[in-house]
Chains A and B, each alone.
Chain A
Amino acid sequence: MKRLLVVLTAALVLLAGLPALAAELTGAEIMEKVDDNAYFSTSHMRATMTIRSRNREMVKEMEAWGDAESKAGLMTFHNPGDRGTKYLKLGDELWMFFPNADDLVKISGHMLRQGMMGSDFSYSDAIESEKMTELYDFTVVGKEKLDGRTAYVIEANALPGTEVSYAKRKSWIDTERFVALKEELYAASGKLMKVMTTKKIQEIDGRYIATEVVMEDQLKRNSSTTLTITELTVGVDIPAGLLSLRSLMR
């Protein structure tokens, strides 16, 4: 009799849990919500990038304009060492303007995988503007607690034919705010390349935005970069002609 009770109780618990399981989101649905949070039609932001390498620390101050529709963006550096340096992304191309150079410099191919300004973020990390759901196939592998928050653990594999910096990603997505709390980025070989950890999340214009993230390049020793967004405006009017090669030279 006692045994029967146990079985019945277990069956009831399972039955009660079924609707909840049925309501679980798929990996793609979760990532769509993440994309919705992080994807702005137009934006303007100010940020600092603190690069720690061995026992040195450098701070870069920058300002960025972005237009997701035209896949264009402009980044201008304001810290003393890089003042006046500008990066312009036009589609898949990245153009650089240096105050002491006559010509613009175009960066492409493998160069885009180099550390941006010596940081743990690559140029690709900085300029990739496609939605994650356009690039990867997602599988939810479970849920975990991370720094007191519940997170979906999602594995992402690059869709065939897409050009991505990392063939595989493992992401911990906050179940309520749909922001990545942590990401492990892997090469096609399965080697762990980078680990990104979110340190601060803020609600801006009704969206949850990671405003402080730390990137650690696993191929560098004692190296990490903290990107802190100090100001973010979404849906801004971008000055006409700002995201063009001509304006870069000015």
Chain B
Amino acid sequence: MILRMALRNLGRHRMRSVLSFVAIALGVLAVVLTKSSIDGTLNTFTGNSIQLTSGHVRVTQVEYRPKERLMSLNYPVDGFSGEGIAPMVTALRKSPLTTTVSPRIKFAAMASKDGELIGMMGLGVEPEAEMELAKLDRYLHAGRFVEPGKEEVALGATLLAKLGLSVGDRVTLVFSDAFGSMQGYSFDIVGELRSGLQLMDSRLAYIPLDTVQRMLNMQGMATEILVTTEHDDQTDKLQANVEDLLAKHNSSDNYEVVPWYQHNELMAYISTAKVSYNFVYFFILGLASFVVINTMIMVVNERTREIGMLGALGLRPRQILRLFLIEGLILGIFGSTVGTVLGGALTKFLSITGLKMDGMESVGDEMLITPTIYPEFSPSLLVYAFVAGLIVSAIAVYIPARKASRMEPTQALRTS
């Protein structure tokens, strides 16, 4: 009976009900879009960071990290006890949970163009492992990726444009080898990478690892070994496995195993950001709920006589409270449902087409974000937004409903 009364009441002031319903729906829609975009951006960032810079865990020499910005070659990984990285890489590949192992050498290089030198980051990689780790297929805009043993390079699109070169040309790179000797080599440009990531497009030069080891006098060495596993939440177990492996070979003191979330300071910020953004979502819904609160207060005020009548007819305060709560919840359920469905559909669409953000091109190298954001569509997001919409509308409606339930019937009847 109370449900029927609630529905009838909502129908009596259709315009007001529609306004409240639209407010909730828009609030939920905004939450779906905002959360999916923010999640998409942050997850893209962490995903790119794992794939391009940190792996799920990264093995380096203990002293390497503080000198990493200088791209020092003085602190290499050279195996469990200096025998070269091959046995270590094999052991890591055999380790449970491991999906990819990519040994790399990061070094500073410059390309010579018209007497000017253009700085870049050389990256010596095992082509197959790196392709799998960084999923480079998707970024290969022209040509192919480098092949082992060859003196060839794959460069970012922006860097190529700056050098005025393209796939098929040759480029001369200058760099210091492990002994500090200046060396110069010419490479065939075999691939052009276009990712939208500043780091990759304007700074990276992929060269086969064995070629780089030879050029830099670093045979059997790498500056870092990136290891990944199937899922992000297996990182801690993977880290423990790798640390155990190093301990078993008495090389724990030389190397450190750093998980992706400790790779740099930005990662720590992102973990915090993910939690704090929940406040933003509830704030958006809170704003939308003002319309609902306002509507319900108006309803309660307008229906004071009616409330008095209901009380006089024997409806208990609890039942009056329930009546108004149900009215509010009906609005909440419908509003949240429509908001979730529309938001979900829009998110799904945008997760395929992407959302172009102008100005993102100027973000720094460390921000591994592309100018096009792909909002993240997931069922959990829809459940989150729907439930959040419902909770906020329930809270919003409770205050006026309680006011109504506490009215004295005689006093209410006297009110004109």
Contact = CB atoms under 8 A, between A and B. Distances in A.
A105 B180 contact: no
Contact of B184 (A53, A98, A108): A98
B351 interface: no
Given A102-B170, A105-B172, A81 B179 contact: yes
Residue among B172, B182, B215 with most chain A CB within 10 A = B182
Nearest to A58: B179
Contacts of B170: 102
Contact of B183 (A58, A98, A111, A116): A98
Contact of B182 (A51, A100, A117): A117
Interface in A88-122: 96-98, 100-108, 111, 115-119
A52 to B, nearest CB: 11
A2 interface: no
The interface residues of chain B, by DSSP majority, are classed as strand
Contacts of A58: 179-181
A100 B180 contact: no
Contacts of A117: 180-182
A56 B76 CA distance: 14
Nearest to B176: A118
Interface residues of A, number: 27
A82 B172 contact: no
A105 B185 contact: no
Contact of B117 (A56, A111, A118): A111
B174 interface: yes
A59 to B, nearest CB: 10
A54 interface: yes
B152 interface: no
- Which bucket holds chain B's interface residue count? 20 to 34
A127 to B, nearest CB: 14
A105 B179 contact: no
A51 B112 contact: no
A98 B185 contact: yes
A81 B186 contact: no
The interface residues of chain A, by DSSP majority, are classed as mixed
B212 to A, nearest CB: 13
Given A98-B185, A101-B185, A106-B115, A53 B172 contact: no
B172 A115 contact: no
A107 B180 CA distance: 16
Interface string B160-201: 000000000010101011011111111000000000000000
A118 B179 CA distance: 7
Interface of A: 51, 53-54, 56, 58, 60, 81-82, 85, 96-98, 100-108, 111, 115-119
28 contacts: A56-B179, A58-B179, A58-B181, A60-B181, A85-B181, A85-B182, A85-B183, A85-B184, A96-B182, A97-B184, A98-B172, A98-B174, A98-B185, A100-B151, A100-B186, A101-B172, A101-B185, A103-B112, A103-B172, A104-B112, A105-B172, A106-B115, A107-B117, A108-B115, A111-B117, A117-B182, A118-B179, A118-B182
Interface of B: 74, 112, 115-117, 151, 170, 172, 174, 176-177, 179-186, 215, 217
